[in-house]
Amino acid sequence: MGRRLLLISNSTLHGGGYLEHCTDQIKTFLREVKRVLFVPYALHDRDEYANIARKAFKAMGYELDSIHTQPIPIEAVKKAEAVFIGGGNTFRLLTTLYKEGLVDEIKHRVEQDGVPYIGSSAGSNVATFSINTTNDMPIVYPPSFLAINLVPFNINAHYTEPAPGSTHMGETREARIKQYHEYPDAPPVLGMREGCMLLVEGDKATLMGQNGAKLFVRGVDPKEIDMGADLSFLL
């Protein structure tokens, strides 16, 4: 069946509601799916987070079950028609995925069973090789920075350039990603601006949405990526 991923940079785009900017892409992506398993581990208030996600998916025509209400989380993953991992703190999210023994099971369901995977922000980060290029503060410490590894590169969600005329002297996102690439084994990093998303179907990857992305590869000048670009070479 092959992997099917929809990796979204952000859950909410300025001027719209939760997942409103990517509703059409989600509905096209899920196809015949009826129920979605939601993973709210990136935020502290899981009940409230699940309510927000449930409302959004109900409006799209899907039922949503939150994994935090299931007696045995790994069994919920084994039975899931589709998995959606929401945004929040990436370190909190990955820590809990490891604690519940879900990293390998999610990878198996997506790669071997073809279960659709949707990630937003932190949920997109953990779908990649590692969380080394997340913007979040390490409020907790996961057993490893290695993530689910559904794709062999990293994402920097909410990627942004300095505002014109800014006097801020802190390091830019680009500078920090280049520091990551000072290490020889560091994989490529896709800086996804808000509003864009990456569709992966088998060995094909396509940039979708709006606002584009920036690709960082060790030893190569950063490259702007336009909507509709084929990024299959990253796989």
Give me the active site residues, please: 121, 136, 158
3-state secondary structure of 46: helix
Structure tokens at 15: 């001027």
Q: What is the DSSP string of 113-177?
A: H---EEEETHHHHTTSSBSTT--S--SS--S-SB---SSSSEEEET--PPPTT----SPPHHHHH
Cα of 161 vs its chain's centroid, Å: 20
Q: Which residues contact 196 (CB under 8 A, 6 or more apart)?
A: 9, 207, 208, 209, 210, 211, 212, 213, 227
Q: Which residues contact 4 (CB under 8 A, 6 or more apart)?
A: 29, 110, 114, 115, 116, 117, 200, 201, 202
